[in-house]
């Protein structure tokens, strides 16, 4: 069984996916297809996604029993000691133009400190 999640996808792609998979919620498709069809569907998603994002979860012969494919976003699958995890971008630290971290207090803490 595979699960495909699409965001900001063109109608052409959604229509193509409904030939093979069932849409259970807007942008969420599930179904049971062969590995060959799964790869063909992923190639169709890559060709037609445009500015949207796509995630595919499918069964695999590993410790977790599943694997991921991600397209169109900064999140990406990484192998961590045999486990496949999704790495999120680090958005907590804003960086300046020259690459160094911005340090100091947040605006909220400054307002509280100065009583504005």
pTM of the model: 0.70
Chain centroid to CA 1: 18
> Could you give the CA distance from residue 58 to residue 4 in angstroms, rounded to a whole number?
9
**pLDDT confidence of residue 41:** 94
**pLDDT confidence of residue 30:** 97
Contact 47, 69 (CB under 8 A): no
> Could you give the CA distance from residue 52 to residue 58 in angstroms, rounded to a whole number?
20
Q: Is 3 helix (H, G, I), strand (E, B) or coil?
A: strand
**pLDDT confidence of residue 87:** 84
Task: Give me the domains of the chain, ranges plus CATH numbers.
Answer: 2-114 (3.30.70.240)
Tens of each residue's pLDDT in the chain, 116 residues: 999 999 988 888 899 899 999 999 999 999 999 999 999 999 999 999 888 899 999 999 888 899 989 988 788 888 888 788 888 877 655 555 555 555 566 777 777 777 76
């Amino acid at each position: 069984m595979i699960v495909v999640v699409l965001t900001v996808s063109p109608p052409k792609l959604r229509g193509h996916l409904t030939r093979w998979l069932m849409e259970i919620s807007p942008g969420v498709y599930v179904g049971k297809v062969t590995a060959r069809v799964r790869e063909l569907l992923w190639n169709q998603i890559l060709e037609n996604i445009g500015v949207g994002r796509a995630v595919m979860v499918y069964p695999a012969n590993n410790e977790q029993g599943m694997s991921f494919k991600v397209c169109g976003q900064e999140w990406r699958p990484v192998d961590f000691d045999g486990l496949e995890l999704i790495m999120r971008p680090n958005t907590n630290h804003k960086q300046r133009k020259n690459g160094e971290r911005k340090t100091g207090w947040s605006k909220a803490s400054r307002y509280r400190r100065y009583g504005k």
